[in-house]
Amino acid sequence: MDAIVHAALDRARPRSDGRRDAWTIGEVARLAGVTTRTLRHYDAVGLLRPTGAAAGGRRLYGRAELLQLQQILVLRELDVGLPTIAEIVGAGDETVRRGRLREHHARLLAERDRFDRLARTVESTLRSFEEGTEMAAKDLYAGFDSSQYEAEARERWGDEAVERSNASWESLGPDGRAAFGQESAAIGHGLAELMRTGADVTDPRVQALVERHHRQIAMFWTPGREAYIGLGQMYVDDERFTATYDAFAPGLAPYLRDSMAVYAEARLS
């Protein structure tokens, strides 16, 4: 047993060229920005096995495991579930794994570009408020392409809900949709300003803006207490929504979530 421990420790030491072959669980956690609990869970479910153990039973991970953890974390960022991740990283064919990695890379680049477009649209809207100018209606939606997420929406909420929402949106007409975008920007700008001044989420001014937000949502779907709280949580959990709100001011998504929870508890059933 001592020989095994010493061999593991030797692998964890830097080689003559300065490179290493193994890292302890604590080192991997710090490198990847995850917790050791997460790594132990990945081990327990067979997603990421350590390559060995050091003194005291500490798990050791090699370079192959570090690369596998990177792929796991990328897939988690893309909201892929653990069972699906296990199928992908467990593929024995290296060609298949590289192909999957290329797909994920392309998706990440597409998401980056989409967030850049959204940020530019919100920036233009904020500038129009600050300069007292009016954006052209078509420019209010320059960064949006909701069609690519329709399949996801249908899976999450069902065909009927999506069809009803689409019909409501179409019924607004160009002027109504432009007014909707302006109201959304006004709410986001107002909340961002109150957050900057340190206003508590229970502040009546904050709650008045949240009421306007709820009224906008109700144009397509009327959420009750639990649904509205859940919607606020989704603004934080889903990076697409987080980016939209945080473009007004960093941290606005969780601020809105907490404000929505206060409103829901006080006003909705």
Task: Compute mean pLDDT per 10 residues along the chain, 269 residues long, and list them.
Answer: 39 51 91 91 90 82 90 79 78 69 71 71 75 65 54 62 75 80 89 94 97 91 87 86 85 95 94
pLDDT for residue 12: 46
**Conformational region of residue 221, where left means phi above 0, alpha means psi within -120 to 50, and beta covers everything else:** beta
The segment(s) of the chain belonging to CATH 1.10.490.50 are 133-267
Quickly list DSSP for 54-66. Answer: -GGG-EEEEHHHH
What's the pLDDT score for residue 132? 76
pLDDT at 19: 62
Contact 183, 145 (CB under 8 A): no
The predicted structure's pLDDT at residue 14: 46
CATH topology of domain 2-90: Multidrug-efflux Transporter Regulator; Chain: A; Domain 2 (1.10.1660)
Q: Which helix (H) or strand (E) holds 77?
A: helix 63-77
For the domain 133-267, what is the CATH code?
A: 1.10.490.50
pLDDT at 201: 96
Do 114 and 239 form a contact (C-beta atoms < 8 A)? no
Q: Quick check: 170 and 163 in contact, CB under 8 A? A: no
Range(s) within the chain of domains with CATH label 1.10.1660.10:
2-90
0.85 exceeded by the pTM? no
Instruction: Sheet with 52-53: list strands edge to edge.
Output: 22-24, 59-62, 52-53
pLDDT of residue 126: 76
Which tokens in the block code for residue 89?
A: 């990283």
- From the number of C-beta atoms within 10 Å of its C-beta (0-12, 13-18, 19+), residue 53 rates as middle
Nearest in space to 12 (alpha carbons), one of 29, 30, 31, 25? 25
Spatial CA neighbour of 136 closest among 184, 175, 190: 175
